[in-house]
Amino acid sequence: MTSDYTEVFQDTEAVEKYESVTYAPDSYASRINDRQRDYLRALVRREFEGQHPPVQHDFACGTGRAIRTLHGLVREAHGYDTSAEMMAKAAEVGSRAYWHRVSTDGPVPTPVAAGFPAIVTVFRLLLNVPDPVRDRAIAFAAKALPHRGSGLLVVENHGNAGSLRHLRARRHRGERWFAELSHEEVAALLDRHGFEIVERRGFSMLTPSLHGHRVARLADAAARRLPGTDGYAVNVLYTARRVHA
């Protein structure tokens, strides 16, 4: 996480806006969050069936959205963030976890030793930070998941370069707030740290500007049922396993 992130979210008003405006009921972000929740809960039930419930390590946990998603399916959860204010808000809104403040730079943070299996979640981070911070996040995941049998890594890309959102890239070239990542870039990032993508799932073909159009939303719902459309979604989750050191 960058120092900019930490500075922005030291402001309690910014934290409140993130939680109550960005993720307001029926907002673009909250609808995607609901779809992700259904997918992740089904994923954990399927992948850890017959095993001890996993421990969750949520890197860049923010207000605990990914932690709340897995309530009741993990034996314990640990949230890691550079912003104490974000973690305080997470606890306030009912995210149940142990909270760990991490530094913005220096050695890669070490996950709490909580045993296996484990699931590491990294949501809404990759697109917002430079390459060294992306590598820092996935290096953390590699520490938490040292071998293939350790568990799963789930990372979010909320600006897929192969989606409709890419049509805005030329117009916004050079603007700091606009970024995108391709599937190939995400796969290369994970591979550098010994991970292989085993599943990819998309959650919306629409950009936020189209969210309010009923016809567009109906078309989006229909498109998401078609095989092969995940690669063109704006928001994508990648599930990965550790395959090499």
Round to whole Å and give the CA distance between 129 and 233. Answer: 21
- The predicted pLDDT at position 3 comes to 45
- The predicted pLDDT at position 220 comes to 66
Mean pLDDT of 224-243: 87
The partner residues of 151 in beta bridges, in order of sequence, read 118
Q: What are the structure tokens assigned to 60, written together?
A: 């860049």
List, for residues 110-128, the tens digit of each pLDDT value.
999 999 999 999 999 998 8
170 vs 85 pLDDT, higher one? 85
173 vs 85 pLDDT, higher one? 85
Domain residue spans of the chain: 5-103+131-242
- The predicted pLDDT at position 182 comes to 94
Residue 178 confidence class, pLDDT cut points 50, 70, 90:
low
The string of DSSP letters for 67-88 reads: HHHTTTTSSEEEEEES-HHHHH
List, for residues 11-40, the tens digit of each pLDDT value.
566 666 666 667 777 787 888 899 999 999
Mean pLDDT of 211-220: 66
- The predicted pLDDT at position 227 comes to 76
- The predicted pLDDT at position 215 comes to 61
The string of DSSP letters for 139-186 reads: HHHHHH--SGGGEEEEEEESSBTTSGGGGGTTTTTT-TT---B-HHHH
**What helix, strand, coil percent values describe the chain, rounded to 5?**
40, 20, 40
Class of domain 5-103+131-242: alpha beta
DSSP letter at 129? S
List, for residues 132-176, the tens digit of each pLDDT value.
999 999 999 999 999 999 999 999 998 898 787 765 655 656 556
> What percent of the chain has a predicted confidence (pLDDT) above 70?
79
Nearest partner of 137 among 146, 124, 126, judged by Cα:
126
List, for residues 42-78, the tens digit of each pLDDT value.
999 999 999 999 999 999 999 999 999 999 999 999 9
pLDDT at 212 over 80: no
Mean pLDDT of 192-203: 96
Residue 231 confidence class, pLDDT cut points 50, 70, 90:
confident
pLDDT at 10 over 60: no
pLDDT at 189 over 60: yes
